[in-house]
Structure 1
Amino acid sequence: MESRTRRLRTRLSAVRPPTFAGRLHDPRTATAVGRRLGAAFAVCFVTGLISHYLQHPPPWAADRLPSRPVWGYRLTQGLHVATGLAAIVLLAVKLWAVYPRLFAWPPVKSVRHALERLSVALLVAAALFEVLTGLLNIAEWYPWPFSFVPVHFAVAWVAAGSILLHVAVKAPQIRSHWSRRSPGTLALPAADGPDRRSLLLGAGAAVGAVTLTTVGQALTPLKALDLLAPRHPDHGPQALPVNRTAAAAGISRELLRDWRLEVAGPVPYALDLAQLRELPQARARLPIACVEGWSVSADWGGVPIRDLLARAGVRPGSAAVRVVSLEAGGAYRVMEMGRQYAQDPLTLLALTLNGQVLSPDHGFPARVIAPNRPGVLQTKWVHRLEVL
C-alpha cells in the first residue's frame, strides 16, 4: 500500500500545467483587448439602465421620464444591442488571451490570491451570462425557467461591480501595459502565428462584420446588409415587424365584434370605432423600437391621448394614464404612462399605420404609439384608458 501511495505521489508531482509562450497570451495583449471590451460593456450597461428604467420606472420617476427626443429610445436600445453583440467577439478574444492563467500552478497561493481568482471567476461567469442571455433574448428564445428581464438586470450589476473590482485589483498591471511603449514581452516565436497587431486587427474586423450585418435592424440606411439579425425592418404585416401576433395574444374576430374604447375618469365615457374616427385626428411619424434591438419609423394616425383625457374631464398635465389591452395574458397587458407621455401631442391612440387601417397583428382596432418609448409599452388592442 505504501509503495502505491509513493508511486501516486510521484506521478502527481510530475504533473505540470501546460506552458504558454508568445506575446499573444501576455498582459499587454490582455490589456489592449480588455480596454475595448470594457468600453463595450460600459455602453451596454448605461444603455441597459436606460432601457430598464423606461420599461419599469420607479414611482418617483414615472411622471418625469422625458418623451423627447422621439428617437431617444431607438438610439439607446440600438446601441445596447450593437455593443452587446460586439462584446461577444471581444469577450472571446479576451478569454483566449488570458486563459493560460487558468492553469497557473499552484492554483491558490494565498488567501488574497484565492479571493482574486474567485473575483475573476465571478466576472467571467457574469459576463458570459449577460452576453449569451442577451443574444438569446434578441432571438426571442428563452430556454431557462426564470424571467429574463429582472435576472438580466440584476446580473448586469454583478458584472459591472466585478469589472470595477478587477480594474482596481489589476490597476498597476493595467497601467504598466496600457501604452504601446510599455516594456516589451518575450520575443514572438515564428510558430506562434500572427502577432498582437494582427490579432487586434482581426478582432476589429470581426466586430465590424458582426455590427454591419446586424445593425441594419435599427439603422435602416444599412438594412440591405441586415443578414444576421433576427429581424429585418421591412419584414412583417404592413411592412413593419411584429413580436407578438394577434393569434399569439388570443385576439379573435369574436372578441373584437362589440369592441368599444372605455375611458375611466372624472367624466367616464365609451366610444366605438366609428365614433373614434369622427374625432379630430392627428398624424405623427414616430419610430417603434423593440427591446430586442430592431426599430423602424412609420406614419401613424389617430386621436391624441391628451384629447381623450380632456374629454373625460382631466385638466391638462394633471394625470397619468393606465392602458389596458384586450389580450388575456402577457407581462405588458396593462401599461402605465406618466404625465409627460400622456400630455405629449405626439402620443396617439393610433388607428392607422402608413395611411392604412391597423392590421390585427399591429393592434387593430386601436393601439398606443408614443415618442421615446420601448415597443413593449406601445400597447396593442387597447380597450380601456384609466385616469390615474
Structure 2
Amino acid sequence: MVTTSTLVRFRGRLHDPRTATAIGRWLGAGIAVCFLTGLISHGLQTPPGWLAPHLPTRPVWLYRVTQGLHVATGIAVVPLLLAKLWTVYPRLFVRPPVRSVRHALERLSIAVLVSAALLEVFLGLMNVSQWYPWPFSFRKVHWALAWVLAGSLLLHLAVKAPVIAAHWRRAPADADARDRRSLLLGVGAAVATVTVTTVGQTLTPLRGVTLLAPRHPGHHQQGLPVNRTAAQAGIRPAAVAADAWRLRVAGPRGFERSLAALNAEPQHAASLPIACVEGWSANADWAGVRLRDLLDRAGAPEDAFVRVVSLQSGGAFSVMEMPPPYARDPLTLLALRLNGEVLSPDHGFPARVIAPGRPGVWQTKWVTRIEVLE
C-alpha cells in the first residue's frame, strides 16, 4: 500500500481507502446490474444461432424491464463513478510513478479500468440521446467494451482484495467519519435525483417528474415516441399509398395482399409494450392480422424462421429475422392500428410488426415483404 510520504500533498480529505471502498460497493453493484442486463439485451437483439429458437416471449414486458433497468442503472452509475474517481485521483500522482514490474502492471490495469468505464458510460449516454458523433457501430463497441470493463474490474478487485476486506465492515468512528457520511449522503442524493428524473421514461408512476430523460413516452403522436420518422427512413409517400401498397408473403404457397384485403381479414387485438434500447418504453393497444395466420396461409412449417423486409431505405434494421417463438406467438401481429387509430406514417403505415418481448428495433415498420426461410 502506498504511504502518504509517496503522494503529492492534497488538501482535500477523504481520499482514503475507507471512502473508496464505501463508494466502490455501490459502483460495483451498479456495474454488475448493467453487465447482466446488457447480456440479456444483446441476447435478445443478436442471439446466437443455438439460442434463437428458444428465446422467451413471456413475460411480454421482459425486455421493457431489463432494458429500462439497464439504462436507469447506467445513468445512476455516472455520479458514483465521478465520486469514486475523485476519491482515488491523488494516486495518479504517486512518486515515483513506477516502483516495480508489479506496480507497473497494477497501474496499467487501473488505466484500462478507468478508460473503459468512462468510455462505456459516455457511449451509453450518447446512445440514450441518439447522438452518434463517431463512425463505428455503437452496439458492437459497447458490447466489446463491456467485457473489457468486466475483466479489468475483476482484476482490480483481485489485486485490491486485502485493502477492500480491511475496510469493508463498519469500523469505529474516525476523525473523518462525519465528513465521509456527508459525502456518501451527497452522492446518494445525486444518484436518487438522476434516477427519479429519468426513469419515468420506463416507470409509468414517475412520468410526471421525467425532467432529464430525452423521451417522454406520453408526449408523442398516437401515444408513443418515434425514434425514426418516415422521412428519415426514406419512405416515399407514393410507396405507402393505400391503393398502391402490397404485402407480399413468400413461402411454399406465397401470396399477395392489398391493405383493403388485410383490413377485411379477421382482426386481432393485443396490449403490448414497445421498448427501445435507449431506455424508453410504453404500453399500447395494437390491432391487425396475426402473423401466424399469414404464415399458415403461405404453408410455412411450424419451426420456420421468418424474414421481414421494410420499405426503409438502408439502415441496420431495414431487414429483420424472426425466430419461430415470436413468429408463432398468438400475440405477434402485423399491426394496422395503434391505440384505436390507423397507424400514422411515422409509426409504420400501412403495416408494422409488433411482437411480445422483443427490442423495439426489431418491431419493423413499413413492412412490404414477409419471407419464410428454410
TM-score by structure 1 length?
0.92
The Cα shift of 1:281 comes to 0.8
- The alignment status of 1:348 with 2:338, answered yes or no, reads no
Residue 314 of structure 1: which of 271, 287, 300 is its match?
Answer: 300
Residue of structure 2 equivalent to 1:336: 321
Task: Report the alpha carbon displacement of residue 23 of structure 1 after superposing the two structures with TM.
Answer: 5.3
Work out which of the residue numbers 89, 92, 96 in structure 2 matches 1:102: 92
In the aligned structure 1, how far is the partner of 2:237 from the partner of 2:26? 52
Equivalent residue pairs, number: 366
Matched position secondary structure for 2:109: helix
Encode CA deviations 1:50-89: one digit per residue, 9 max, x unaligned: 1111111111111111111100000000000000001111
SS at match of 2:52: coil
Aligned to 2:256: 270
Counterpart amino acid of 1:125?
A: S
Written as runs of structure 1 = structure 2, the 5 A alignment for 1:237-256 is 237-256=221-240
Partner of 2:3: none
Structure 2 counterpart of 1:357, from 322, 342, 346:
342
**Equivalent residue for 1:324?**
309
Aligned to 1:382: 367
Post-superposition Cα deviations, 1:166-191, rounded to whole Å, max 9, x if no partner, equal 00111111001001127x76x349xx
Letter of the aligned partner of 1:248 in structure 2?
A: Q
Residue identity (%): 68
Task: Find 1:279's aligned residue among 245, 259, 265.
Answer: 265
> Could you tell me which residue of structure 1 aligns to residue 204 of structure 2?
220
Indicate which of 109, 114, 129 corresponds to 2:119: 129
For each residue in 1:192-237, what CA deviation from the matched residue of structure 2 results, as whole angstroms up to 9, or x when unmatched? xx61111111101000000000000011111001000000011222
List runs of 5+ in structure 2 lacking aligned partners: 1-5
Q: 2:357 aligns with which of 353, 357, 372?
A: 372
Q: In structure 2, how many angstroms separate the alpha carbons of the residues matched to 1:65 and 1:318?
A: 13
Q: Which of 1 and 2 has greater Rg?
A: 1
Q: Deviations over 1:357-383 (max 9, x none)?
A: 000000000000001010000000001
Matched with 1:78 is 68
Distance 1:381 1:253 in 2: 11
Residues 310-337 of structure 1: per-residue CA shift (max 9 Å, x gap): 010124x321211000111110000011
Deviation at 1:21, TM superposition (A): 5.9
Cα deviation digits, residues 101-137 of structure 1 (max 9, x gap): 1111111110000000000000000000010110011
Give, in whole Å, the separation in 1 of the partners of 2:149 and 2:203: 28
Q: Find the residue that maps to 1:335 and give its secondary structure.
A: strand
Is residue 2:294 matched to residue 1:293? no
Question: In 2, are the aligned partners of 1:29 and 1:196 still within 8 Å (CA)?
Answer: yes
2:183 is paired with a residue whose SS is helix
CA distance in 2, matches of 1:265, 1:71: 31
Q: Helix, strand or coil: the match of 2:53?
A: coil
User: What residue identity is the alignment partner of 1:290?
Assistant: C
RMSD: 1.4
Would the aligned equivalents of 1:246 and 1:363 in 2 still touch at CA under 8 Å?
yes
**Paired residue secondary structure (1:300):** strand
Question: Deviation at 1:273?
Answer: 0.3
CA contact (8 A) 1:231 1:294 kept: yes
- Cα separation, 2, equivalents of 1:230 and 1:122: 30
Amino acid in structure 2 at the alignment position of 1:365: P
**Maintained 8 Å contact 1:217/1:233:** yes
Equivalent position of 1:5 in the other structure:
none
The one-letter code matched in structure 1 to 2:213 is A
How far 1:238 moved relative to its partner?
Answer: 1.1
